[in-house]
């Protein structure tokens, strides 16, 4: 049977406030275990929480960027369960009156726009980290109490690819807000997925499984793909699916059922009596709204409109805020004629010099210098594309202008026929077969000869001029 | 000289006039404690050599502290086995205020019902405290150690905590003054929580003037307690005005019904007549939701307690039972560490919050709590005070109610509503039963108006002599 996947994602996000959610401890990552703790985040008896105002502001910012309705009256609740990484044996979270509800995020896949609903964005605190040893388990409480947001999507996602796009767009949007580094490796972004299958075209809901332990966006995609296959096979063979929680094993590339206990979990939620409810006023929301920068979706649309870029190119350029800022500076410093070339240089050769287009702003090259390089290649034809790439690498190493490097290393193209003719004569002499082929009408032979001249000139010959000269020379012969 | 018999304001005057020193007071008190604490057992872990907490410097008058208020470097165990050896690395805000005031410093820790669960101070892992007026009787609870210490002149003044009457009821049983401030008036930071939405720290003193003085020291906004309220605190000693003329007092008819001991009723009515003669105006009022206060309280308080006490699991501090694996450690630690009443309340609270019962119990209780609060708001529109007995009976015998939790719970029937409504109330001595046990008069006031409360209490006290009678030990 043909099935449709119904997927909902639950994302947990660390807010990068300087201090924890309910105390003054630092949130810095990677410190010695249990060095960033105090009586409050250790849940010592008698200690009381005080909510970090910056965390509330960040949370509202995210909620607004995800088009959520921020509720005027919101409160914290206690989620009660025993676990050694949870020092109070309850987590301060939000239950029936979350910070915000009814949002959405637009994603784009294969040129199709799709709106994914966001059920809620709520505030909570992170737990500690367990480190298991042979005969003991240790607890690191440094992470305990770091402000978290839980972002719950509607089950509007229908494929692993859409899930991937949703996560990429979510990460990009949140990074634009400067409220989280969204690093899955550091655990500052975590994602669980709920997935069920139903016969394509129907609206019924199947039995869902919850997937955990994915350590990358690709892991989420792979786990979902695996789970779709597993569930489809079971359904096809008439087996009954069980509602359970499964862990993704990235090595084995499969999901494994967690041991589950009988009966549903009962967290005994109730209002946190140590924290009075919040009233979030309109003017506060308006004030925070003002701090939200142009988000990737809008920026992309503007790049297409203002610079005449294709959707494909614009989307790559806006993936990160800093990268997009640099890219736009380059586009602004370029003549209209060169804009497309500059964009292609950015997403091509420039991005290749670092991990991705998201990191181009970290390279040691100014927007002016990049524009200058493209001008040398495209307008003035002083260097070839190939030489351009070598010059670009040198520019990033030294911070020098393209012109300076070209002069210093004598890389300027040779375009005058006098200098070129002797090299061309040599190439013709050495390759009689290609000459014959060309005369017999084989176009490829001409390109081969041009290549020979380029090689002999160490790439400095102007390929267009060379091509013309060879064509003329052989026509005369 | 018997300095221990004096009040804090009398002693501070003597220190100021260089008639005595803090050191002399400490040495005198120490002698007194050595003399009588074996009978009363108001203190816990009392070292025989000194009255002072380690590193405590005599400066003014020592304050004895209930064992659920955190003292830096000094055991704070809530009289529970599960917190055995717990030595907090921080002071409660009230302790810092006491030290910073220059008029007081940290004294010994007082006995209490385990985690403040009880009305008799019998639920203590250290054993019961005895009522100084009759050693076979309980001192009330849960701040029974603090009340008994003050009554027996083993403390000049003390701090207790009040979740449903735990300061006022023992004050009444021991014949001392006990004040529960408005919720949010005194910081709860460092008070080991029983029920977070009800708990308040307050003074137990020999007279109303000391109560005002200690309130001056401990009150005020604390940025470390999100439920503390940022309303300026006035100098409460300025409110000590001996004048009741024109003050309007409501007498709730629901409080003078079956269950109130006829002897207590007569004594409280006499006190009301005394205030009438001093010019206060009385009128019967109604608090229609009074009958629901006890069930509402035992749902909300136990629900919060079940969550607050979850952290005592053997992982970080206190008792850790020998066990095989994590779940076994949780179970054995909590089984060994908690007493019967703590277990009973954890079970009650866990049940009240459980899926399927939450709406019927906890949510409903919250709604009725709002109605109870509205009852008081309505009365306070027309009246300055409400006066009731503090407790329906005088002190009962040790062991008398231990097998009947419900009877024990009803001992707080007149004090519980005050915590649910968050308003302030004070208990002042107003007479003795034929058997010679003290009786308390409870005065309830408007939120954040402790000054007004102290004024009427002071007027009553200045025109009576009950507070001057001392138990013979």
Digit-coded pLDDT (tens) for B373-419: 999 999 999 999 999 999 999 999 999 998 888 888 888 999 999 99
Task: Identify the band that residue A261 occupies on the pLDDT scale cut at 50, 70 and 90.
Answer: low
Give pLDDT, residue B54: 60
Task: Identify the band that residue A284 occupies on the pLDDT scale cut at 50, 70 and 90.
Answer: very high
User: Do A225 and A103 have their domain in common?
Assistant: yes
Q: What is the rounded average pLDDT for all residues in chain B?
A: 95
Rg (CA), chain B: 21
Residues A64-76 have a mean pLDDT of 97
User: Do A438 and A330 have their domain in common?
Assistant: no
Distance between B124 CA and the closest CA of chain A, angstroms: 18
From residue A260, alpha-carbon distances to A9, A267, B390 in Å are: 21, 16, 52
Distance between A31 CA and the closest CA of chain B, angstroms: 20
Using CB atoms, pick whichever of B92, B304, B350 lies closest to residue A46: B92
Nearest residue to B200 via CA among B225, B224, B177, B175: B225
Q: Which residues contact B22 (CB under 8 A, 6 or more apart)?
A: B15, B58, B59, B60, B61, B62, B105
Q: Would you state the torsion angle of the CA atoms of residues B25, B26, B29, B33, taken in this order, to the nearest 10 degrees?
A: 180
Per-residue pLDDT reduced to its tens digit, A371-426: 888 888 877 677 777 788 888 888 888 888 877 887 777 777 777 777 788 888 88
Distance between A129 CA and the closest CA of chain B, angstroms: 14
From residue A225, alpha-carbon distances to A113, A196, A213, A222, A429 in Å are: 22, 12, 15, 5, 59
CB B187, CB B224: distance < 8 Å: yes
Residues A141-154 have a mean pLDDT of 97
Distance between B70 CA and the closest CA of chain A, angstroms: 7
Over pLDDT 90: what percentage of chain B? 89
Task: Identify the band that residue A346 occupies on the pLDDT scale cut at 50, 70 and 90.
Answer: confident
DSSP state of A414: B
Distance CA B235, CA A406 (A): 82
User: Do A177 and A307 have their domain in common?
Assistant: no
Using CB atoms, pick whichever of A50, A78, A266 lies closest to residue B224: A50
Query: Cβ–Cβ of B313/A80 closer than 8 Å?
Result: no
Residues B15-21 have a mean pLDDT of 95
Q: Is the pLDDT of residue B244 over 70?
A: yes
Peptide bond into B142 cis (omega under 30): yes
Is B119 an annotated catalytic residue? no
What CATH number is attached to the domain comprising A458? 1.10.10.410
Give pLDDT, residue A158: 96
Residue that is last in its domain, among A255, A288, A321: A288
Distance between A136 CA and the closest CA of chain B, angstroms: 9
Domain tally, chain A: 3
CB A107, CB A166: distance < 8 Å: yes
Give pLDDT, residue B55: 61
Per-residue pLDDT reduced to its tens digit, B135-192: 999 999 999 999 999 999 999 999 999 999 999 999 999 999 999 999 999 999 999 9
Active-site residue, selected from the candidate residues B22, B64, B66, B104 = B66
* Interface A:B, Cβ pairs < 8 A: 102
Question: Greater confidence, A342 or A129?
Answer: A129
In chain B, residues with a C-beta closer than 8 Å to the C-beta of A275 are 226-227
Residue that is last in its domain, among A408, A437, A467: A408
Q: Which residue, among B195, B309, B310, would best test binding to A if mutated, counting the most A CBs under 10 Å from its CB?
A: B310
Query: Cβ–Cβ of B311/A87 closer than 8 Å?
Result: yes
Distance CA A369, CA A393 (A): 12
Find the domain containing A451 and state its range.
417-476
CB A247, CB A256: distance < 8 Å: yes
Signed CA dihedral, B203, B205, B211, B215: sign only? negative
Query: How many CB atoms are located within 10 Å of the residue A377 CB?
Result: 23
Chain B residue whose CA is closest to A141: B316
User: Do A278 and A306 have their domain in common?
Assistant: no
Give pLDDT, residue A263: 55
Query: Cβ–Cβ of A274/B226 closer than 8 Å?
Result: yes
Distance CA B191, CA A273 (A): 14
Per-residue pLDDT reduced to its tens digit, B253-297: 999 988 899 999 999 999 999 999 999 999 999 999 999 999 999
Active-site residue, selected from the candidate residues B22, B56, B142, B143 = B142
Give pLDDT, residue B65: 96
In chain B, residues with a C-beta closer than 8 Å to the C-beta of A42 are 316
Task: Give the residue numbers in B contacting A (CB under 8 Å), as ranges.
Answer: 68-70, 76, 78, 83, 86, 88-90, 92, 188-193, 195-197, 223-227, 303-304, 306-307, 310-313, 315-317, 326, 330, 350, 353-355, 358, 362
User: Do A374 and A457 have their domain in common?
Assistant: no
Distance CA A225, CA B245 (A): 82
Tokens 């030990």 sit at which residue?
Answer: B473
User: Do A317 and A438 have their domain in common?
Assistant: no
Question: Greater confidence, B129 or A472?
Answer: B129
Give pLDDT, residue B48: 46
Is B166 an annotated catalytic residue? yes
Q: Which residues of A424-445 are buried (b: 16+ CB within 10 A; e: fewer)?
A: beebbeebeebbebbeeeeeeb
DSSP state of B110: E
- Two tokens, residue B352: 């009240």
Give pLDDT, residue B50: 55
Q: Which helix (H) or strand (E) holds A189?
A: strand A189-199
Chain A residue whose CA is closest to B195: A273
Distance between B364 CA and the closest CA of chain A, angstroms: 13
User: Do A284 and A324 have their domain in common?
Assistant: no
User: Do A120 and A173 have their domain in common?
Assistant: yes
Domains of chain B: 3-242+455-468 (3.90.1300.10)
User: Do A284 and A317 have their domain in common?
Assistant: no
Per-residue pLDDT reduced to its tens digit, A22-45: 999 999 998 999 999 999 999 999
Q: Give me the DSSP letters along A19-70.
A: B-SSSS-B--TTPPTTSS--TTTTT-TT------HHHHHHHHHHHHHTTPEE
List the strands of the sheet with A270-271, edge to edge: A90-93, A77-80, A270-271
First and final CA of chain B: distance in angstroms?
18
Residues A421-450 have a mean pLDDT of 86
Residue that is last in its domain, among A288, A310, A327: A288
Distance CA B451, CA B446 (A): 10
DSSP state of B179: E
Is B142 an annotated catalytic residue? yes
User: Do A284 and A300 have their domain in common?
Assistant: no
Distance CA B428, CA A324 (A): 72
Query: Cβ–Cβ of A45/B226 closer than 8 Å?
Result: no
- Two tokens, residue A181: 């580094």
Using CB atoms, pick whichever of A51, A269, A273 lies closest to residue B197: A273
Task: Identify the band that residue A260 occupies on the pLDDT scale cut at 50, 70 and 90.
Answer: low
CB B82, CB B150: distance < 8 Å: no
Distance CA B395, CA B381 (A): 34
Query: Cβ–Cβ of B190/A47 closer than 8 Å?
Result: yes
CB A87, CB A43: distance < 8 Å: yes
Looking at the complex, does the CB of residue A42 fall below 8 Å from at least one CB of chain B? yes
Using CB atoms, pick whichever of B78, B224, B313 lies closest to residue A89: B313
User: Do A266 and A317 have their domain in common?
Assistant: no
User: Do A158 and A91 have their domain in common?
Assistant: yes
CB B185, CB B419: distance < 8 Å: no
């Amino acid at each position: 049977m043909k099935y449709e996947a119904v997927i909902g994602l639950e994302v947990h996000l660390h807010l990068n406030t300087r201090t924890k959610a309910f105390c003054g401890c630092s949130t810095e990552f990677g410190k010695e275990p249990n060095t960033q703790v105090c009586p409050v985040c250790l849940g010592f008896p008698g200690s009381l929480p005080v909510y970090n105002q910056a965390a509330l502001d960040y949370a509202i910012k995210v909620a607004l960027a995800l088009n959520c309705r921020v509720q005027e009256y919101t409160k914290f609740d206690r989620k009660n369960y025993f676990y050694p990484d949870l020092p109070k044996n309850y987590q301060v979270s939000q239950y029936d009156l979350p910070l915000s509800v009814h949002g959405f995020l637009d994603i784009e896949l294969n040129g199709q726009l799709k709106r994914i609903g966001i059920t809620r964005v709520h505030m909570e605190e992170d737990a500690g980290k367990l480190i298991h040893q042979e005969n003991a388990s240790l607890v690191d409480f440094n992470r305990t109490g770091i402000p978290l947001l839980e972002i719950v999507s509607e089950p509007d996602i229908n494929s692993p690819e859409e899930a991937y796009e949703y996560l990429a767009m979510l990460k990009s949007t949140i990074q634009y807000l400067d409220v989280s580094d969204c690093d899955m490796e550091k655990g500052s972004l975590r994602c669980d997925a709920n997935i069920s299958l139903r016969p394509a075209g129907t609206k019924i809901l199947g039995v869902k499984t919850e997937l955990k332990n994915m350590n990358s966006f690709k892991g989420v995609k792979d786990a979902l793909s695996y789970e779709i296959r597993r569930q489809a096979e079971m359904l096809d063979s008439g087996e009954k699916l069980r509602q359970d929680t499964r862990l993704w094993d990235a090595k084995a590339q499969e999901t494994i059922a967690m041991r589950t206990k009988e009966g549903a979990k009962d967290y005994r939620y109730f209002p946190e009596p140590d924290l009075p409810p919040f009233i979030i006023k309109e003017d506060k929301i308006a004030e925070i709204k003002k701090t939200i920068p142009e988000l990737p979706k809008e920026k992309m649309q503007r790049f297409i409109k203002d610079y005449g870029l294709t959707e494909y190119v614009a989307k790559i350029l806006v993936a990160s805020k800093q990268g997009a800022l640099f890219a736009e500076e380059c586009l602004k410093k370029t003549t209209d004629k060169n804009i497309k070339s500059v964009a292609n240089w950015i997403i091509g050769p420039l991005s290749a010099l670092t991990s991705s287009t998201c990191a181009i702003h970290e390279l040691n090259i100014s927007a002016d210098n990049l524009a200058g390089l493209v001008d040398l290649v495209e307008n003035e034809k002083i260097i070839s594309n190939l030489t351009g790439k070598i010059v670009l690498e040198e520019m990033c190493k030294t911070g020098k202008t393209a012109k300076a490097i070209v002069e210093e290393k004598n890389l300027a193209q040779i375009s005058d026929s006098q200098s070129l003719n002797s090299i061309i004569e040599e190439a013709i002499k050495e390759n009689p077969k290609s000459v014959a082929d060309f005369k017999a009408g084989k176009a490829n032979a001409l390109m081969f000869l041009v290549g020979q001249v380029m090689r002999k000139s160490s790439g400095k010959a102007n390929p267009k001029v060379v091509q013309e000269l060879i064509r003329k020379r052989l026509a005369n012969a | 000289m018997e300095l221990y018999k004096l009040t804090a304001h009398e002693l501070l005057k003597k220190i100021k006039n260089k008639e005595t020193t803090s050191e002399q007071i400490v040495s005198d008190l120490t002698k007194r404690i050595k003399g009588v604490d074996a009978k009363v057992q108001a203190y816990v872990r009392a070292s025989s050599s000194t009255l002072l907490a380690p590193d405590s410097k005599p400066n003014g008058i020592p304050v004895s502290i209930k064992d659920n208020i955190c003292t830096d470097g000094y055991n704070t165990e809530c009289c529970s086995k599960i917190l055995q050896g717990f030595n907090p690395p921080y002071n409660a805000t009230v302790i810092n205020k006491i030290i910073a005031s220059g008029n007081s410093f940290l004294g010994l820790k007082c006995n209490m019902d385990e985690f403040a669960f009880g009305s008799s101070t019998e639920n203590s892992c250290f054993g019961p405290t005895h009522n100084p007026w009759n050693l076979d009787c309980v001192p009330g609870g849960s701040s029974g150690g603090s009340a008994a210490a003050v009554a027996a002149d083993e403390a000049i003044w003390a701090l207790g905590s009040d979740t449903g009457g735990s300061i006022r009821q023992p004050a009444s049983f021991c014949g001392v003054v006990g004040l529960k401030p408005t919720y949010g008036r005194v910081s709860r930071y460092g008070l080991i929580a029983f029920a977070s939405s009800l708990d308040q720290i307050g003074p137990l003193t020999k007279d109303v003037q000391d109560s005002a003085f200690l309130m001056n020291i401990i009150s005020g906004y604390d940025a470390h307690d999100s439920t503390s309220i940022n309303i300026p605190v006035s100098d409460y000693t300025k409110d000590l005005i001996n004048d009741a003329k024109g003050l309007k007092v409501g007498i709730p008819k629901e409080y003078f019904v079956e269950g109130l001991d006829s002897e207590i009723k007569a004594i409280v009515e006499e006190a009301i007549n005394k205030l009438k003669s001093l010019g206060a105006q009385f009128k019967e009022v109604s608090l229609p939701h009074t009958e629901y206060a006890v069930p509402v309280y035992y749902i909300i308080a136990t629900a919060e307690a079940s969550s607050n006490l979850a952290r005592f699991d053997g992982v970080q501090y206190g008792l850790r039972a020998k066990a095989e694996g994590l779940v076994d450690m949780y179970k054995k630690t909590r089984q060994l560490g908690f007493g019967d009443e703590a277990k009973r309340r954890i079970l009650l609270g866990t049940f009240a919050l459980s899926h399927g019962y939450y709406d019927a119990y906890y949510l409903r209780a919250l709604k009725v709590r709002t109605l109870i609060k509205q009852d008081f708001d309505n009365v306070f529109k027309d009246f300055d005070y409400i006066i009731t007995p503090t407790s329906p009976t005088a002190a009962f015998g040790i062991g008398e109610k231990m097998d009947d939790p419900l009877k024990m719970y009803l001992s707080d029937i007149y004090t519980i509503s005050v915590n649910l409504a968050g308003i302030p109330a004070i208990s002042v001595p107003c007479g003795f039963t034929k058997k010679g046990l003290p009786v308390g008069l409870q005065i309830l006031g408007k939120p954040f108006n402790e000054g007004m409360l102290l004024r009427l209490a002071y007027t009553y006290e200045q025109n009576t002599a009950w507070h001057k009678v001392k138990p013979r030990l």
